[in-house]
C-alpha cells in the first residue's frame, strides 16, 4: 500500500500590476492583409492564367530542363538555385512555379506586395563584361537574353561542310544556298549537299536553331545583339518588365499572369504622339517582306503556322547578317515594341542587303 502524499504549493512574490485588457485598442485582424491577395478566387485566377502560359506549358521545359547548362532557365527549380547561388544544376524538366520568381515575404508589415526575387544587375551571356539592369525585372532578364552573337558564326578560315538529307528534307534542300563552289547531288534516296564557305565573303548557318536563342528581350532593350549595335531603349519612364507585362490587374488576365502587355497603358502616356499599334503593324509588315526574301534564298523556312526555322546555308556575309538581324527580331516577339528605333535600324540593314 502506498503512503499518503501531501502536495505543498509554494507561491512566489506577486508581480507588478498588469494593464486591464479592456483598456487596450483592438488591432486589425492579421488575416486581412493576407486576404487582400490570397483569396481563393484571386489565387485560382492567377494559377489558371499562369498554367496556360508558355512559362509553364511550353515544350522548352521537357528536354532542355534536364541538362545542367540549360536548366537554370528551363527548369522551375533549377532557376531558384541559380538565382540564389549562381550554381548550375540539372533539373527535372518542370515549368515555372510561383516560387520560381517570387520569394517569401521579407516582413508582414505595411505595403505588402508580391515579392519578386531580387537579382543584381544581370551579366550578359553573349557579351563578356556587359550587364543589364531592369530593376525588379532582372529576374526576367536573367533568362530573357541572347546566348550568342553574330560574330560567333563568322569563320576564320575557308571551310566546306557536307550534310546528307533524306525524306522530306530532300525537297527542302534541293536548291540550298551552298556558296560559290558548293554542290548538290542526289544519290538514290539521299541528297548530299556540300556547303562551300570562303571566310572572306561567306558565313555558314551551322544549325537549324541558329540565332541569338529564344527570348532575347534584354538585348533588344540594350540594342546590342544584331549585326550592328544601336541605341539602347530609353527607360526613364519604363521601369521594369513587370510594369508592362503585369500591368493588367484584372481577373480576366489572372491579375497580370497572362503576361499580355496592356497597349492602352502606353497610349495613356504617349497619346497621339505615338500610335503604338500602327508602329507594330508597320514593323510586322517589313519583317514579313524580309522573311519572304530570306526564304527565297533558302536561308529560312516558314511553316504553315508561321513559325520560322533557320536552314543550313552558306550565304554572302551581308545576306547572312540580314538573316541574323531578322532572327533577332523574330525571337524578340515584340514587333519592335521593346525598341522601335533599333528594330527599324536592323530592318533597314536587312532590306539594303536583300535589295528590298
Q: What is the pLDDT along the chain (356 residues), one digit of tens a residue?
A: 444 444 444 455 565 655 555 555 665 565 666 777 778 888 888 898 888 888 888 788 877 778 888 998 999 889 999 988 889 998 888 888 888 888 876 665 555 667 788 788 999 999 999 999 988 889 999 999 999 999 999 999 999 999 999 999 999 999 999 999 999 999 999 999 999 999 999 999 999 999 999 999 999 999 999 999 999 998 776 768 888 888 777 888 888 888 888 777 777 777 777 888 899 999 999 999 999 999 999 999 999 889 999 999 999 999 999 999 999 999 999 999 999 999 999 999 999 999 99
pLDDT attached to residue 242: 81
> Taking the CA atoms of the chain, what radius of gyration do you get in angstroms?
29
Same domain, 261 and 128: yes
| Residue where one domain finishes, among candidates 140, 169, 197 | 197
Same domain, 180 and 267: no
Note whether 163 and 193 are within 8 A (CB).
Answer: yes
Round to whole Å and give the CA distance between 167 and 294.
Answer: 23
Looking up cell 533588344 gives 220
Alpha helices (H) in 65-147, listed in sequence order: 71-74, 76-85, 98-101, 138-141
Which pTM does this prediction carry?
Answer: 0.87
Same domain, 252 and 342: yes
pLDDT attached to residue 8: 43
pLDDT attached to residue 3: 44
pLDDT attached to residue 297: 98
Which of the 8 DSSP states describes residue 58?
A: S
For residue 256, what are the domain limits?
A: 116-150+208-354
Same domain, 281 and 141: yes
Select from 294, 289, 276, 265 the least CA-distant residue to 334. Answer: 276
Answer yes or no: is 221 within a domain.
yes
The number of domains in the chain is 2
Note whether 91 and 78 are within 8 A (CB).
Answer: yes
Answer yes or no: is 350 within a domain.
yes
pLDDT attached to residue 53: 87
Same domain, 182 and 330: no
pLDDT attached to residue 208: 96
Same domain, 165 and 145: no
Amino acid at each position: 500500500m502506498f503512503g499518503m502524499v501531501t502536495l505543498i504549493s509554494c507561491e512566489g512574490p506577486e508581480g507588478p500590476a498588469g494593464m486591464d485588457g479592456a483598456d487596450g485598442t483592438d488591432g486589425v485582424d492579421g488575416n486581412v492583409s493576407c486576404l487582400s491577395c490570397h483569396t481563393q478566387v484571386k489565387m485560382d485566377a492567377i494559377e489558371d492564367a499562369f498554367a496556360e502560359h508558355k512559362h509553364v506549358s511550353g515544350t522548352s521545359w521537357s528536354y532542355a530542363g534536364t541538362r545542367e547548362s540549360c536548366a537554370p532557365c528551363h527548369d522551375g527549380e533549377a532557376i531558384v538555385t541559380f538565382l540564389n547561388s549562381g550554381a548550375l544544376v540539372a533539373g527535372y524538366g518542370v515549368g515555372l512555379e510561383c516560387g520560381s520568381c517570387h520569394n517569401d515575404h521579407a516582413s508582414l508589415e505595411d505595403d505588402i506586395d508580391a515579392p519578386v526575387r531580387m537579382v543584381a544587375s544581370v551579366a550578359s551571356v553573349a557579351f563578356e563584361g556587359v550587364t543589364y539592369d531592369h530593376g525588379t525585372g532582372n529576374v526576367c532578364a536573367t533568362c530573357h537574353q541572347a546566348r550568342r552573337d553574330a560574330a560567333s558564326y563568322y569563320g576564320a578560315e575557308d571551310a566546306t561542310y557536307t550534310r546528307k538529307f533524306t525524306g522530306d528534307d530532300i525537297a527542302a534542300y534541293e536548291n540550298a544556298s551552298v556558296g560559290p563552289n558548293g554542290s548538290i547531288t542526289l544519290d538514290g534516296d539521299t541528297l548530299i549537299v556540300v556547303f562551300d564557305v570562303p571566310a572572306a565573303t561567306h558565313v555558314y548557318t551551322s544549325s537549324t536553331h541558329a540565332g541569338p536563342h529564344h527570348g532575347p528581350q534584354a538585348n533588344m532593350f540594350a540594342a546590342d545583339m544584331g549585326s550592328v549595335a544601336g541605341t539602347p531603349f530609353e527607360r526613364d519612364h519604363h521601369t521594369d518588365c513587370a510594369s508592362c507585362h503585369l500591368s493588367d490587374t484584372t481577373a480576366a488576365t489572372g491579375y497580370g499572369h497572362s503576361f499580355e502587355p496592356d497597349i492602352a497603358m502606353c497610349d495613356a502616356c504617349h497619346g497621339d504622339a505615338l500610335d503604338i499599334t500602327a508602329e507594330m503593324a508597320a514593323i510586322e509588315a517589313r519583317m514579313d517582306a524580309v522573311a519572304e526574301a530570306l526564304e527565297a534564298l533558302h536561308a529560312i523556312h516558314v511553316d504553315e503556322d508561321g513559325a520560322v526555322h533557320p536552314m543550313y546555308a552558306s550565304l554572302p556575309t551581308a545576306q547572312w547578317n540580314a538573316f541574323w538581324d531578322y532572327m533577332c527580331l523574330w525571337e524578340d516577339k515584340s514587333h519592335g515594341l521593346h525598341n522601335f528605333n533599333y528594330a527599324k535600324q536592323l530592318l533597314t540593314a536587312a532590306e539594303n542587303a536583300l535589295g528590298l
